[in-house]
Amino acid sequence: MTGVFVALGSNLDDPEKQLDRALDALSKLPGSRLRAISPRYWSPPWGDPDQPEFLNAVASLETSLKPLELLRLMQQIEDRQGRQRAEDRRWGPRPIDLDLLLYGEQTIRQAQLEVPHARMCERAFVLKPLADLAPQVEVPGRGRVEELLADLDCSAMRRAAKPDPTTEPTR
């Protein structure tokens, strides 16, 4: 089993419910076990400011799925929840967005998948919930999550009011 981290984000069609549905689907992936869920955070949109704010979280899983198979199943979850990939608006609004951030300690560079996620170290809305779960985790070639987060401004983020049932953090 390999430890993986998946970022979740939504800003359409009741983001709380969208994250709940996606987490439920992730918990049912074959050969996988959902280990922990970060707190949720509201944050401004990244890359395309003309849209509603996002609700973000990170999930920790253990999986026996290979990286591309995991990615394919994550994209199926997105499709089932109404995700439409607009060519003209890459970072536009969406009911759900799932990004594979880390796959164990592996570095993967393929046309369909880049791990660690290419822009994760630029995004407070990814690193803040990831740091809640695993501040000491090393992002291959970049540094520890808590150190990377220290370089980002989290002031526009706010923790969601709804308490989340998290399991023990991964350290």
Indicate if 97 belongs to the active site. yes
From 94, 123, 142, 151, the catalytic residue: 94
Tokens 């689907």 — which residue? 25
**Spatial separation of the C-alpha atoms in residues 123 and 151, rounded to whole Å:** 10
**Spatial separation of the C-alpha atoms in residues 151 and 153, rounded to whole Å:** 7
- Cα 127 to Cα 13, 73, 87, 112, 146: the distances in Å are 24, 23, 26, 22, 8
Indicate if 94 belongs to the active site. yes
Q: How many CA atoms lie less than 13 Å away from 62 in the CB half-sphere?
A: 4
Contacts of 52 (CB under 8 A, 6+ apart): 11, 12, 45, 93
**Spatial separation of the C-alpha atoms in residues 58 and 54, rounded to whole Å:** 13
Indicate if 83 belongs to the active site. yes
From 21, 35, 83, 123, the catalytic residue: 83
Indicate if 85 belongs to the active site. no
Q: How many CB atoms lie within 10 A of CB 158?
A: 11
From 21, 97, 123, 132, the catalytic residue: 97
From 40, 99, 123, 132, the catalytic residue: 99
Residues designated as active site: 83, 94, 97, 99
